[in-house]
Chains A and B, each alone.
Chain A
Amino acid sequence: MFLAWERLCTLSCRPKFLKTVWASKILGLSTSAGEDSNPGWGTKIPPATQHGKKMSLRFKNAKRIEGLDSNIWIEFTKLAADPSVVNLGQGLPDISPPVYVKEELSKIAAIDNLNQYTRGFGHPSLVKALSCLYEKFYHNKINPNEEILVTVGAYGSLFNAIQGLIDEGDEVIVIVPFFDCYESMVRMAGATPVFVPLRCKPVDGKKCSSSDWTLDPQELASKFNSKTKAIILNTPHNPLGKVYTKEELQVIADLCIKYDTLCISDEVYEWLVYTGNKHFKIATFPGMWERTITIGSAGKTFSVTGWKLGWSIGPKHLIKHLQTVQQNTVYTCATPLQEALAQAFWIDIKRMDDPECYFNSLPKELEVKRDRMVHLLESVGLKSIVPDGGYFIIADVSMLDVDLLDMKDSNEPYDYKFVKWMIKNKKLSAIPVSAFCNAETKSQFEKFVRFCFIKKDSTLDAAEEIIKAWSRQNS
């Protein structure tokens, strides 16, 4: 066994060690990163470059990423990284994953052969577990090898689906607000995002809820045409927390069938649905299985966002194209994490009706936190939209009428300025909802900020203190 290598360390064998090539011996000088290096240093330079330096012009990025370089998360997570800031921004639990999930990974870390490559399209025990779980919801059996693909997070599934199925010149319908990568991934594929907003129709006297935000069926229908390749659906919805009803999904399904369009259904928050609501899978509607890719996430299912495992489920004739993308991008996902995820699934698959099952216990736990957030925001006069699902809540902050004097020169939407101000002055972070909008609709949403509530009680306590102090200051 190669474990013998460690014993070799104690032998006084002289290694035929390759001299480390310390580059300074070759170079004489070290170059600095960047375009400014001067070729005339007097070291061994091949004659060709002495004819003059042609630099950087051809190091331009490929066209596909033109304009996609800025990213809201990079910006805001940097700001919120200050440990004194109470972070209700990025969708990241600060609660511990369930004990048995951590235990499974720990056990697996000790198993040798799980440190090497596994099957590219998904570790066998994991695709089997996924097939077993999801067969309970679909009307058909799910072939683990042909109808499931394991990806680098749900983010990776979105990428594989869009790269695999969306072409230059295609149109893709994106519902506003949207998880921000939908737009950039569609653009990277050379396609055109076509936006349709959710609109609020509040019922008088009732607390504003995510179900008040709906698509206008005629407006939605007007967005479909012969170039529409796909619609991206997100239910439960980020950031609103909307859980699409059966009727709403039927409207979308009817249009998909009429226009022969694909549906990419991002259902990462599928288990996080609160009392009085039910999550429906559009792929189970008549005529939809053959045209839908349904995406799920280990990170959101088991509160392990750092495992970066997700999956796509769909018919073979679609999944095979996502598999082609996989074999030309990452090829395979990490083995030990996939095995641990499989084991965690088996534990909960066996007790789906049990309140102890994480798919049941997490939403119960989060509903309490949701209600706490609603109450807290209400108590300081902030109007929030009660989410029916997911782990975010958005609130209208315009009535706080905060003086953003020191940010007035910025061209950014109000909510961007507000959040930056709030991070700096109140040590509380959130995410501006206009980040989830295209340029044209930003103004419709710029009074809203998004709070994440999958946080431990002490974090929510700290947020409460800040908000209460803030409100006392104002009154």
Chain B
Amino acid sequence: MAKRLQARRLDGIDHNPWVEFVQLASEEADVVNLGQGFPDFSPPEFAVEAFQHAVSGDFMLNQYTKAFGYPPLTKILASFFGKLLGQEIDPLKNVLVTVGAYGALFTAFQALVDEGDEVIIIEPFFDCYEPMTLMAGGRPVFVSLKPSPTQKGEPDSSSNWQLDPTELASKFTSRTKAFILNTPNNPLGKVFSKEELELVASLCQQHDVVCISDEVYQWMVFDGFQHISIASLPGMWERTLTIGSAGKTFSVTGWKVGWVLGPDSLMKHLRTVHQNSVYHCATQGQAAVAQSFEREQLHFGRPSSYFVQLPQYIQRCRDHMIQSLQSMGFRPVTPQGSYFLITDISDFKNKMPDLPGAADEPYDRRFVKWMIKNKGLVAIPMSIFFSLPHQKFFDHYIRFCFVKDESTLRAMDQKLQKWKAELTP
């Protein structure tokens, strides 16, 4: 065809770094995959049972359900999160089920972001926020979390990475349509404090901005830190879209069930996008998530709750990984939450600055590719979570996922020990 084929909305968003790294990880034999964020252990038995029940029960679950969400699921999400947010949530007006939290994000951007609108994105950010903003014709405006200097010998923590309030305020203009918040944050693992959220809330209200709050890791919080949903702060419910994920909640990333909670005045626009994009989500996955939430509602707050047990287990995985990495000369940043930690690789950058790669390819990407091929460990370069102009300032960090089975972490230890042995002649 002679004509230009692709729509202009795809300009600048066709490249996806994941495709490259996921492919590399699958091509190399005998690698320990600590890259992409998914658990490699079983989901909880009650979730597996719920799915089995959904696929072997009423055969009509093989057919379409309600477009905006399978009724038992929207009902339980409304009641479960209604309590958490201190908000009367109507399953029909305030809940939308989407194809993963990823689908929720897309739906929100398409519904509300117009050509020329500005969207404030905190760096480092889950990489899809930028292309989704661009695809909606919006202009991403970045503001960086920056680490404060640590005491010598003191390990860095995600709580140490902060926004400068003055800088943050300066990013809001009359064109700002939305503010993307991600707490707990991917890749850093930062759990925003109440004070930090109040600052964001005050600016959103002052400038009449919608807050899109990606809270997929809401249960993955460690060391006694608390996850706070910004929608529960005064004046915020009416301007916040809160996004959640069954995949991260129940360790079933392959089910692709997510949701958005928010006021009807915003949700109605998301419903319009939804009915013109996917229209329905798969029924059986939703039925299984509904049943899983029903189980959790009974156990909530008790030791038997998955939302208690999972973060406890994951915290141990985190600590194991931190120790192993430290013994190798990596300098991990202890995350307060999420599936991930980042680790400073400056020492490696100093010792082996010339790794193979393209001329302008950030160091962390070259390092990760080298590490996959030569050391059998898969991580993700941190620079992909930064805007292009800022990538070079953060090319000395890589991201590891520690939500892995003990056997995977032991395999990681073996690779690290071998690597260490190779370093000392």
Beta-carbon contact of B235 and A65 below 8 Å: no
What chain A residues lie within 8 Å of B19 (beta carbons)? Answer: 120, 327
Bound complex: CA A328 to CA B12 (Å): 12
Q: Which residues of A contact B308 (CB under 8 A)?
A: 15, 17
Interface size on A, as a range, is 35 or more
Asked if B55 and A46 sit within 8 Å, CB to CB, the answer is no
Contact residues of A between 260 and 290, Cβ < 8 Å to B = 260, 262, 290
**B45 near A: Cβ within 8 Å?**
yes
- Please tell me if A361 contacts chain B, counting CB pairs below 8 Å: no
B55 CB to closest chain A CB (Å) equals: 5
Stretch from B142-150, B248-256, B370-378 at the A interface: B248-256
13 interchain pairs, CB-CB under 8 A:
A2-B41, A2-B406, A16-B312, A22-B83, A23-B86, A27-B234, A33-B264, A44-B234, A46-B198, A74-B67, A116-B253, A324-B6, A331-B128
Residues of A within 8 A of B13 (CB): 324, 328
| Cβ-defined contact, A8 with B312, below 8 A | yes
Chain A residues whose C-beta falls within 8 Å of the C-beta of B202 in the assembled complex = 46-49
Partner of B16, one of A163, A165, A327: A327
> Which residues in window 35-73 of A have CB below 8 A to B?
35, 37, 39, 41, 43-49, 51, 54-59, 61-65, 68-69, 71, 73
Nearest-neighbor residue (CB-CB) of A327 within chain B: B16
Chain B residues close to A by CB (< 8 Å)? 1-3, 5-10, 13-14, 16, 18-19, 22, 36, 38-45, 48, 51-52, 55-56, 59-67, 83-90, 93-94, 99-100, 102-103, 106, 110-115, 128, 131-132, 135-136, 177, 198, 201-203, 205-206, 208-210, 221, 223-229, 232-235, 237-239, 247, 251-256, 263-266, 268-269, 271-273, 275-285, 300-301, 303-304, 306, 308-310, 312-313, 405-407
Q: Are A335 and B55 in contact (CB under 8 A)?
A: no
Partner among A58, A159, A320 whose Cβ is within 8 Å of the Cβ of B208: A58
Q: How far is the CB of B205 from chain A (nearest CB, A)?
A: 5
Check if A203 is an interface residue, CB within 8 A of chain B: no
- Give CA–CA (A17, B238) in the complex, Å: 29
Interface string of A154-168 (1 = CB under 8 A from B): 011001000111111
From known contacts A106-B56, A110-B52, infer whether A43 and B6 are also in contact, taking CB-CB under 8 Å.
no
Known: A27-B86, A324-B10. A33 touches B94 (CB 8 A): yes
Beta-carbon contact of A48 and B205 below 8 Å: yes
Residue pair B41, A1 in contact (C-beta under 8 Å): yes
Closest B-chain residue to A308, C-beta based? B282
> CB within 8 A of A21: which of B8, B227, B276, B304?
B227
Is there contact, CB below 8 Å, between A334 and B232? no
Complex CA gap A340/B185 in Å reads 34
Q: Which residues of B contact A15 (CB under 8 A)?
A: 303, 308-309, 312
**Contact between chains at A115 and B255 (CB < 8 Å):** yes
**A59-B265 Cα distance, complex, nearest whole Å:** 8
Instruction: State whether the Cβ of A94 lies closer than 8 Å to any Cβ in chain B.
Output: yes
**Is A200 located at the chain interface by the 8 A CB criterion?**
no
Closest to A49 in B: B205
Chain B residue, CB-CB nearest to A108: B55
A65–B111 contact, CB under 8 A?
A: yes
Known: A1-B41, A30-B86, A119-B22. 19 other contacts (CB 8 A): A2-B42, A6-B45, A16-B223, A23-B86, A31-B235, A33-B263, A35-B265, A57-B208, A59-B266, A62-B110, A65-B110, A65-B269, A71-B67, A159-B277, A167-B8, A168-B8, A324-B14, A329-B277, A334-B285
B278–A306 contact, CB under 8 A? no
A184 within 8 A of B: yes
B268 → A minimal CB distance (Å): 7
Contacts of B226 in A (CB 8 A): 18-19, 21
CA distance in complex: A68, B284 (Å) = 28
Q: Pick the contact of B301 from A17, A117, A163, A262 — CB < 8 Å?
A: A17
Q: Which residue of A lies closest to B306 (CB)?
A: A5
Shortest Cβ gap from A335 to chain B (Å): 3
Residues of B near A55 (CB, < 8 A) are 208, 238
Task: Tell me whether A413 is interfacial, beta carbon within 8 Å.
Answer: no
Shortest Cβ distance from B112 into chain A, in angstroms?
A: 6
- B59: nearest chain-A partner, CB-CB: A96
Instruction: Verify if A221 is at the interface (C-beta below 8 Å from B).
Output: no
Contact of B284 among A45, A69, A96, A306 (CB under 8 A): A306
Selected from A2, A74, A306, the residue in CB contact (under 8 A) with B63 is A306
Q: Is A143 an interface residue (CB 8 A)?
A: no
Q: Is A441 an interface residue (CB 8 A)?
A: no
Q: How far is the CA of A14 from the CA of B223 in the complex (A)?
A: 14
Are the C-beta atoms of A21 and B84 separated by less than 8 Å?
yes
The distance from the CB of A437 to the nearest CB of chain B, in whole angstroms, is: 18
Q: In the bound complex, what is the Cα–Cα distance between A101 and B83 (angstroms)?
A: 40
Known: A9-B304, A33-B90, A69-B268. A321 touches B278 (CB 8 A): no
Q: Is the CB of B115 within 8 A of A63?
A: yes
Q: Point out the residues of chain A lying under 8 angstroms from B221, CB to CB.
A: 18
Taking a contact as CB atoms under 8 Å apart, the answer to whether B282 and A306 are in contact is yes
Taking the nearest CB of chain A, how far is it from the CB of B310, in angstroms? 7
Q: Among B40, B208, B224, find the residue whose CB has the most chain A CB atoms closer than 10 A.
A: B208
Asked if residues B56 and A331 are in contact (CB atoms below 8 Å), the reply is no
* B52, B63, B232, B255 — most chain A CB neighbours (10 Å): B63
- A-B pairs, top 7 by smallest CB distance, nearest first, are A23-B86, A46-B202, A335-B254, A48-B206, A306-B283, A2-B41, A23-B232
| Docked pose: A39 CA to B203 CA in angstroms | 15
A117, B208: Cβ atoms under 8 Å? no
A435 within 8 Å of B by Cβ? Answer: no
| Bound CA span A283–B373, Å | 41
- Residues in chain A near residue B229, CB distance under 8 A: 21, 23
Which one of A59, A74, A333 has the greatest number of beta carbons of chain B within 10 Å? A59
CB contacts (< 8 Å) of B36 on chain A: these are 117
Asked whether any CB of chain B lies closer than 8 Å to the CB of A208, the reply is no
A16-B312, A92-B64 known; A331+B102 contact, CB < 8 A: yes
Please tell me if the beta carbons of B284 and A30 are within 8 angstroms of each other in the complex: no
Which of A12, A62, A156 makes the CB contact (< 8 A) with B278?
A156
Closest to B174 in A: A58
CA A3 to CA B279, docked complex, whole Å: 36
Is there an interface contact between B1 and A262, defined as CB atoms closer than 8 Å?
A: yes
Within A104-120, the residues touching B (CB, 8 Å) are 105-106, 109-110, 112-120
B63 in contact with A92 (CB, 8 Å):
yes
Residue of A nearest to B284 (CB): A306
Alpha-carbon distance A35/B235, docked complex (angstroms): 11
Distance of A232 from chain B, by nearest CB (Å) = 15
Contact of B279 among A68, A153, A166, A335 (CB under 8 A): A153
Contact (A37, B235) CB under 8 Å given A164-B10, A330-B99: yes
- Closest A residue, CB atoms, query B26: A119
In the complex, chain A residues whose CB is within 8 Å of the CB of B3: 229, 260
Q: Which interface residue of A55, A163, A308 has the most chain B CB atoms within 10 A?
A: A308
Are A163 and B86 CB-contacts (below 8 A) given A185-B276, A188-B276?
Answer: no
Cα distance A43–B41 in the bound complex, in angstroms: 45
Cα-based distance from A371 to B283 in the complex (angstroms): 31
- Contact yes or no, B310 A5, CB < 8 A: yes
Interface centre among A1, A23, A152 (most CB of B within 10 A): A23
Q: Are A68 and B67 interface neighbours, CB within 8 A?
A: no
Chain B residues with Cβ below 8 Å from A324 are: 6, 10, 13-14
| A305 contacts B by Cβ under 8 Å | yes
Interface centre among A13, A20, A97, A118 (most CB of B within 10 A): A20
Chain A residues positioned under 8 Å from B93 (CB to CB)? 33
Say yes or no: A20-B278 contact (C-beta < 8 A), given A58-B177, A290-B1.
no
A48 x B203 contact (CB < 8 A): yes
Q: Which residue of B lies closest to A57 (CB)?
A: B208
Tell whether A294 is near chain B: CB-to-CB under 8 Å: no
Chain B nearest CB from A113 CB (Å) reads: 8
Cross-chain contact A117 with B38 (CB below 8 angstroms): yes
Given A45-B235, A63-B114, A109-B55, A117:B253 Cβ within 8 A: yes
CA–CA, A119 and B83, complex, Å: 36
Q: Given the complex of chains A and B, what is the CA–CA distance between A456 and B111 in angstroms? A: 39
Look across to chain B and name the residue whose beta carbon is closest to the beta carbon of A106. B56
Q: Does A199 contact B (CB under 8 A)?
A: no
